[in-house]
């Protein structure tokens, strides 16, 4: 077990800290039985941070943590919404690039990796959150530190509070708010070499794409936003 920190005990989360780890998501996936529901592991640095589609996630003094949930929830909707709503409350006009990237000024600010653990039935969900504090030139990422004076712990605390607030909201309303903050709605996008208009997000969080030939539903995939409308 890593060192315990009480900063979010008041809202029912148990925080643990580590300086360097391979990946906070991997750690919780391998050790979820030893930790309670709503445990969080915060790392200063990861040596093998993971992103979606097996990509590498670099974090160097950025915000980097995973949350362990032992109950099923609409995390694919709630987590990007919570981060985006916290930022907007701080007057930082971030939005969601479907399904769960957080963008600011057309650049990636944060990424989310949600990994569910099953062994015949649902056991746990590991929600990994990486938020850039500094710009990342390698992949055109933007950093948060120039937009806020809040500490990383203050930001994490606010995100956890918003996750819990949103967990009490019905899925229909969550999807409406998610659509509102989604930066790709009504924009031209490329999916599998074809151009579509992103026209809706379904109640399951799937993206509906339309062009003159087809209307298709995308469950979880990579899309490219056109810079021009």
For binding to ligand BTN (CB under 6 A), which residues are involved? 23-25, 46, 49-52, 55, 57, 59, 64-66, 101, 111-113, 128-130
Closest approach, Cβ 127 to ligand BTN, in A, equals: 8
* Residue among 59 and 182 whose Cβ is closer to ligand BTN: 59
Closest approach, Cβ 37 to ligand BTN, in A, equals: 18
Which residues make Cβ contacts (< 8 Å) with residue 99, sequence separation at least 6? 76, 80, 205, 207, 220
Closest approach, Cβ 162 to ligand BTN, in A, equals: 18
* Residue among 101 and 200 whose Cβ is closer to ligand BTN: 101
Which residues make Cβ contacts (< 8 Å) with residue 11, sequence separation at least 6? 157, 160, 161, 164
Which residues make Cβ contacts (< 8 Å) with residue 30, sequence separation at least 6? none
* Residue among 50 and 187 whose Cβ is closer to ligand BTN: 50
* Residue among 38 and 50 whose Cβ is closer to ligand BTN: 50
Closest approach, Cβ 157 to ligand BTN, in A, equals: 17
Name the E strands within 100-206.
101-104, 107-119, 121-131, 188-191, 194-201
Q: Any bridge partners for residue 60, and if so which?
A: 45
């Amino acid at each position: 077990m890593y060192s315990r920190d009480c900063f979010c005990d008041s809202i029912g989360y148990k925080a643990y800290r580590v300086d360097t780890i391979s990946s906070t998501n991997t750690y919780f996936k391998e050790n979820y039985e030893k930790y309670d529901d709503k445990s969080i592991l915060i790392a200063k640095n990861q040596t093998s941070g993971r992103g979606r589609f097996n990509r590498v996630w670099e974090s160097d003094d950025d915000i980097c943590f995973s949350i362990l949930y032992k109950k099923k929830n609409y995390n694919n909707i709630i987590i990007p919404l919570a981060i985006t709503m916290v930022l907007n409350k701080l007057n930082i006009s971030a939005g969601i690039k479907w399904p769960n990237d957080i963008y600011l000024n057309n650049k990636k600010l944060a990424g989310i990796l949600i990994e569910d653990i099953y062994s015949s039935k649902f056991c746990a969900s590991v929600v990994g959150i990486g938020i850039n504090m500094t710009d990342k030139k390698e992949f055109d990422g933007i950093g948060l530190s120039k937009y806020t004076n809040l500490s990383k712990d203050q930001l994490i605390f606010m995100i956890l509070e918003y996750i819990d607030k949103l967990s009490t909201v019905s899925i229909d309303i969550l999807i409406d708010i998610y659509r509102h903050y989604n930066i790709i709605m009504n924009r031209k996008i490329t999916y599998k070499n074809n151009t579509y208009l992103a026209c809706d997000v379904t109640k399951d969080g799937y993206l509906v794409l339309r062009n003159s030939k087809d209307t298709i539903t995308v469950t979880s995939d990579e899309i490219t936003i056109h810079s021009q409308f």
